[in-house]
Amino acid sequence: MLKKLEILGGYDKHGGKESVKSLVLEKGNIYTIVGKTGSGKTQLIEDIESLNNGEGITKRTILIDGVIPDDSFHQGYRSQFIAHLSQNMNYILDMPVVEFLKLRNSLQGHNNLEGSPDKLLATANMLAGEEIQPFQLLTRLSGGQSRALMIADVALNSKAPVILIDEVENAGIDRIKAMSLLIGQEKIVLVVTHDPLLALYGNKRIVLKHGGICHIIERTNEEKLLLNKLTNTHDAMETMRKLIRNGESIKGVNYIGI
């Protein structure tokens, strides 16, 4: 059972040593990864995903519970250790959503209740802006619906203790619900984001510059209060979005925080 993941600093794009020599990531925490375009956010996610062993362009080293994972770990367990939600859509079959989920469960031989097709669909629909119908074809899902399905799948079915998420803000899903769904599972969650609400949602922010981790910001009490206000604004916006989408007028919304 994973206790901690550790990133040992490597080199930035200019060949300088990263200011942060070691960063320990613990279970039950969300870490957001922030920085300008091209600062190396995705590269950091890739280093973690590939469990970089001091090589590659950044020369970072990823330790699992204090040690470099050996070859047998890479061959046998790595894919179950890390779940990566990216912009890519990996479902390629063209069949109704519910049939696909049933087929997948039977192929994997786990008909456990957690990931039953009905529960997975209901969970995905908590996140998707537009409801996914059970008999909708997979290839007809919108980007947001696909994303919602993948996040629900990882939250309910994946045993991976580490989750890497590359930019969910433009995915057309309720990003705060998605985060709370994932964080409820005692996992290490790393999220690349430019969104202040998501950034403040994390306990720590990993700041990148010129390809190197330059510092770690702990969320302050002031930011925590701000997060509450932003969450109220977000909830009000979501309610209004639904009303507008349904062709209704905006009334009776709780405007606290706006």
Ligand X SMILES: Nc1ncnc2c1ncn2[C@@H]1O[C@H](COP(=O)(O)OP(=O)(O)OP(=O)(O)O)[C@@H](O)[C@H]1O
Judged by CB under 6 A, the stretch of 1-9, 38-46, 127-135, 245-253 that binds ligand X is 38-46
Among 19, 42, 125, 185, binds ligand X (CB under 6 A): 42
- Confirm or reject binding of residue 76 to ligand X (CB under 6 A): no
| Residue 256, phi-psi category: left (phi > 0), alpha (psi -120 to 50), beta (remainder) | beta
Give the whole-angstrom CA distance, residue 197 versus residue 184: 18
Compose the 197-226 pattern: x for residues touching ligand X by CB under 6 A, - for all others. Answer: --------------xx--------------
At residue 34, what are phi and psi to the nearest 5 degrees? -125, 165
- Quick one: which of 7, 9, 34, 41 contacts ligand X (CB under 6 A)? 41
CB contact at 8 A, 3 and 152: no
Which listed residue (8, 57, 68, 214) binds ligand X by CB under 6 A? Answer: 57
Rounded to whole angstroms, the Cα distance separating 136 from 125 reads 13
Q: According to the binding rule CB under 6 A, does residue 12 interact with ligand X?
A: yes
Nearer Cβ to ligand X, position 181 or 189?
189
Query: Based on CB atoms, which residue is closest to ligand X, 153 or 166?
Result: 166
Q: Where are the alpha helices (DSSP H) in the chain?
A: 41-49, 71-76, 78-81, 97-108, 117-127, 143-157, 175-183, 196-201, 221-245
Shortest Cβ contact with ligand X: which residue?
Answer: 211
Q: What's the CA gap between 194 and 254, in Å, rounded? A: 26
19 is a contact residue toward ligand X (CB under 6 A): no
Q: Which residue has the tokens 């957690």?
A: 114
Size of the site for ligand X (CB under 6 A): 15
Under DSSP, the state recorded for 130 is S
Neighbours of 238 (CB within 10 A): 15
- Closer to ligand X at the Cβ: 38 or 143? 38
From 41-49, 195-203, 217-225, 229-237, give the range in contact with ligand X by CB under 6 A: 41-49
Contact with ligand X (CB under 6 A) among 5, 25, 30, 58: 58
Contact footprint for ligand X (CB under 6 A): 11-13, 35, 37-43, 57-58, 211-212
